[in-house]
Structure 1
Amino acid sequence: MELAVLREDMVDSLEHDAKAVVNTDDVGLAMRTVPREAFVDDDRKAYADQSLEHHGTRVLSPSTAARLMEVLAPDPGDDVLVVGVGVGYTTAVAAEIAGARHVHAVDITRPIVHDARENLADAGYPEVLVDCRDGARGLPDYAPYDRILVEAAAVDPPAPLLDQLAPDGRLVIPRGRGASQTLVAVDADGTETTHGPVAFAPLLVDGEQTGALERNRTAREDAERAARAAQAETGWEHEWIDWE
């Protein structure tokens, strides 16, 4: 069966089956257009509604990607930032809707960034900018953004990301820890809406990515210990004692 037919069948099922997670024409048309096989090694699995593993990162299932896009609700011409690019599929769907030149993505793990760039180029979206950054800090170089999508969980939306929202912007993020996560949309005016349970890996900080030599938190703690040790008394820095 041709991949284009499988793609049509996939979106049909997401629109009409019990899941019914595709509710808008923009998302449905984008998912019918983006060649998912460019992001999944096995063509037979590309259009199955299941999550996969690829080089240490999770490939979201089509239904999860659809849920994210429906909540994000980008419009053509919106400037979009995706934090946690992964293999790049969700980013490609956003690029199909908003326009590839309007979409930026970051990931903290350099090999994943390289893979995503190649995948996006193979899929027909080479104009998407993908950079290796600490996602919690966003990408201030191109802010503000009309839409920010975080594909990793955090207890609260990182303040730098909220600061990078346009005045009428929206940030979508899985909020919570472990099995207690909820998909949350936060508008620039502080309005929040919830959109059901989700399960995502936690948002990493610089130093926690695969292959990192050390965690920033450890480096910071070591520096703090060194500073305290330098200020500590070593036995002779006591006040002068007048023996007479």
Structure 2
Amino acid sequence: MDPAVLRDDMVDSLEHESKGCLRSDRLSVAMREVPREAFVGEDRGAYADRPFERLGTRVLAPSTVARLVEALDVYEGDSVLVVGAGVGYTAAVVAELAGEHNVHAIDIARRLVVEARGNLAEAGYDGVLVDRRNGAEGLAEYAPYDRILLEAAAVSPPSALVDQLADDGRLVMPHGAGDQHLVVVEDGEITERLGGVAFQPMLVEGEQADTVERNRTRREDREFARRNAEGRTGWEQGWIDWDDGSGR
């Protein structure tokens, strides 16, 4: 089936009162324009309203993307930072609203930065800047931002992201640990709570799946345990069956 038809069907379902996650005409038009199949590597499955895993990250369901971007309230010309670029789909939707050269995206995982850049270029949004950064530190070189979207959970608004907001800026993020809520942060304070969500916690340098483990104590403990296990004699290993005479 034509991806454009599938895309329209997806958006229609998100606008239906049973979901009610897509309300604004601007976002409806934007999500009808972005070819989601360019970001997920398939046609029909790209428009199912479900999350899935790719390259060690969760690709958000379309309904979740709609909730996030509705809360972000982006207008043409807004300077936007997306923290947690992932495969790049959310950044593309935001680019439709703000203009691609106004959108910056960062991710802590190098392979996701490469993936997002390629996907955005394929979909026609190569003007979006994607860089590898620690999400909690933001992207100060291009601040201030009118809008910042954090696609990972944190127990408090990261101070660097709050500092990088414009005076009337808006930060949208999943807030909390076990019990999470989507919140809006303005002037350093939570001003709106928009219902429950379930996101992975924000990673710091050294925790991403594609990095060398940086905790030396943990690495050394694991190595010592391996050497100790390999250095045991037969009776310590437990692989000799003394009853069948194999140890004699």
Q: TM-score, normalised by structure 2?
A: 0.85
Counterpart of 2:13 in 1: which secondary structure? helix
Give per-residue Cα distances to partners, 1:80-99, cap 9 Å, x unaligned. Answer: 00000001111100000000
1-structure distance, mates of 2:190, 2:175: 15
Counterpart of 2:19 in 1: which secondary structure? coil
Q: Which runs of 4+ in 1 moved over 4 A?
A: none
2-structure distance, mates of 1:49, 1:205: 29
Give per-residue Cα distances to partners, 1:193-243, cap 9 Å, x unaligned. Answer: 00000011110011111122234xx479xxxxxxxxxxxxxxxxxxxxxxx
Give per-residue Cα distances to partners, 1:29-55, cap 9 Å, x unaligned. Answer: 000000000011221210010001111
Which residue does the alignment assign to 2:49? 49
Which residue does the alignment assign to 2:206? 207
The code of the aligned residue for 1:28 comes to S
Asked whether the equivalents of residues 168 and 189 of structure 1 are also in contact (C-alpha less than 8 Å), the reply is: no
2-structure distance, mates of 1:43, 1:17: 26
Deviation at 1:187, TM superposition (A): 1.1
**Number of paired residues?**
218
Counterpart of 1:39 in 2: which secondary structure? helix
Which residue does the alignment assign to 2:108? 108
Which residue does the alignment assign to 2:174? 174
Give per-residue Cα distances to partners, 1:118-173, cap 9 Å, x unaligned. Answer: 00001110000000000100000000000000000000011000000000000001
Give per-residue Cα distances to partners, 1:64-95, cap 9 Å, x unaligned. Answer: 00000000011100000000000111110000
Which residue does the alignment assign to 1:133? 133
Are 2:91 and 1:98 equivalent residues in the alignment? no
Deviation at 1:192, TM superposition (A): 1.5
Counterpart of 1:31 in 2: which secondary structure? helix
The gaps in structure 2 that reach 5 residues or longer are: 218-248
The code of the aligned residue for 2:23 comes to N
Asked whether the equivalents of residues 100 and 125 of structure 1 are also in contact (C-alpha less than 8 Å), the reply is: yes
The gaps in structure 1 that reach 5 residues or longer are: 221-244
Asked whether the equivalents of residues 51 and 58 of structure 1 are also in contact (C-alpha less than 8 Å), the reply is: yes
Counterpart of 2:90 in 1: which secondary structure? helix
2-structure distance, mates of 1:161, 1:189: 10
Deviation at 1:189, TM superposition (A): 5.9
Which residue does the alignment assign to 1:12? 12
Counterpart of 2:171 in 1: which secondary structure? strand
**Share of identical aligned residues, percent?**
60
2-structure distance, mates of 1:219, 1:188: 39
The code of the aligned residue for 2:37 comes to E
Superposed counterparts of 1:155-166, under 5 Å: 155-166=155-166
Asked whether the equivalents of residues 167 and 189 of structure 1 are also in contact (C-alpha less than 8 Å), the reply is: no
Which residue does the alignment assign to 1:153? 153
Counterpart of 1:46 in 2: which secondary structure? helix
The code of the aligned residue for 2:31 comes to M
Which residue does the alignment assign to 1:188? 187
Are 2:43 and 1:66 equivalent residues in the alignment? no
The code of the aligned residue for 1:110 comes to R
Counterpart of 1:58 in 2: which secondary structure? strand
2-structure distance, mates of 1:198, 1:152: 10
1-structure distance, mates of 2:189, 2:59: 30
2-structure distance, mates of 1:195, 1:219: 41
Superposition CA RMSD, Å = 1.5
Give per-residue Cα distances to partners, 1:96-125, cap 9 Å, x unaligned. Answer: 000000000000000000000000001110
Q: TM-score, normalised by structure 1?
A: 0.86
Question: Please, which moves more after superposition, 140-149 or 16-25?
Answer: 16-25
2-structure distance, mates of 1:38, 1:187: 34
